[in-house]
Amino acid sequence: MTDLITEVQDLTDLAFEETEKRPGIGGSFLKTVRIEEGKRVIYKCPDLDPELGFVGHEGVNELVASRLMKKLGIEGAEVRLLRAKVNAGGRQQETWVVRSEDFLKPGQDKISLELFYEGEKRENETPLAFCERRGFGDAVYRMLILDYLILNRDRHGKNMEVIRDKEKREFRLAPLFDQGLSLLFRCRSEADMEMLDVMADRPVQCFVGSRSAAENLKLIPEEKWPKLPVLTDSDVDEILSGLSDIMPEIWTEKVKSMLKGRWAVLQEMLLKQMF
């Protein structure tokens, strides 16, 4: 099943609701949930400007992150990107909508990492130390690598979840989700994209780390650095396949530069650790 559907889907029957507003980020993200074939399915729209309509490309970022995670063996929520008609902002509009299925299985429930940490932490225990103690260390280290590669600015404590298996009485970190505020998400024009330095370190939210995605890589102990497949140039081309038809050429060039350049930094870090 393809993860990119360009044929326009009719989602006008869905009641999208305003769910996210954050300081420094214009507009809002519309989200809705419905049950399909017994599964809980989430649909989310990009950034909506009241006058201009949909102006963001967060859904494209979600798809790129999902494809990248599959290449690197990082567990993430399955997503599909759909071209769809929706009712939003008081009128019918077309936009790119992200569709994802709930990753919970029967006998499981979930809680945000932030709430789990607040309820179970030891005195003076940091979120990262807590995750290591609970056995989430490797999953967190993989997340820090992903978030550096795509410059994810939005890994707050509610954008990380813990799954509880009631029968096994086990806890594990949930598949990663909500990577929309990454890559070139703040660039609304081709001029903005052209000017962007894709290697620059910008402020991020990271519940288990700092405000720097680059500095957060240093939180990974040398002996616990995750063993990831090599990300090749052809992998990057495959990750971006089909997107040149829906995004400007400069966007594709910049995202390629970001993924390749940041991967090279990771490889250099690994070499320094070996010698």
Range name among 1-5, 9-13, 174-178 with the lowest pLDDT average: 1-5
Q: Which domains does the chain show, CATH number per domain?
A: 4-101 (3.30.200.120), 108-274 (1.10.1070.20)
Per-residue pLDDT reduced to its tens digit, 129-164: 999 999 999 999 999 999 999 999 999 999 999 999
Is it the case that residue 28 has pLDDT exceeding 90?
no
pLDDT of residue 249: 97
Which residues, including other chains, have CB under 8 Å from residue 97's CB and lie 6 or more apart? 9, 11, 43, 44, 45, 59, 81, 82, 83, 84, 86
Is it the case that residue 265 has pLDDT exceeding 90?
yes
Is it the case that residue 22 has pLDDT exceeding 80?
no
Six-digit token string for 96: 């790119």
Calculate the dihedral angle through the C-alpha atoms of 159, 165, 170, 174, rounding to the nearest 10 degrees. Answer: -20
Mean of pLDDT values over 174-182: 96
Pairing of strands 4-10, 205-206: unpaired
By CB neighbour count within 10 A (0-12 exposed, 13-18 middle, 19+ buried), where does 136 fall? buried
Mean of pLDDT values over 12-32: 67
Contact status, residue 259 vs residue 239, Cβ threshold 8 Å = yes
**Greater model confidence, 274 or 47:** 47
pLDDT of residue 269: 86
How many other C-beta atoms are found inside a 10 Å radius of the C-beta of residue 8?
11
By CB neighbour count within 10 A (0-12 exposed, 13-18 middle, 19+ buried), where does 25 fall? middle
Residue that the structure tokens 């769910």 belong to: 19
- What DSSP state is assigned to residue 181? S
Q: Which amino acid is at 111?
A: I
Is it the case that residue 27 has pLDDT exceeding 50?
no
Range name among 21-30, 95-104, 129-138, 176-185 with the lowest pLDDT average: 21-30
Which residues, including other chains, have CB under 8 Å from residue 64's CB and lie 6 or more apart? 150, 183, 239, 240, 243, 255
At 69, the pLDDT band (50, 70, 90 cuts) reads: very high
DSSP H helices in 5-109: 58-72
* Ramachandran angles phi, psi of 214, nearest 5°: -70, -45
Is it the case that residue 24 has pLDDT exceeding 60?
no
SS3 label, residue 255? helix
Residues facing 20 on adjacent strands = 29
pLDDT of residue 25: 37
* Ramachandran angles phi, psi of 220, nearest 5°: -85, 120
Per-residue pLDDT reduced to its tens digit, 43-54: 999 998 888 889
Is it the case that residue 208 has pLDDT exceeding 90?
yes
pLDDT of residue 26: 38
Highest averaged pLDDT of the listed ranges 29-33, 227-231, 257-261, 267-271? 257-261
SS3 label, residue 236? helix
At 79, the pLDDT band (50, 70, 90 cuts) reads: very high
pLDDT of residue 161: 97
Q: Which amino acid is at 14?
A: L
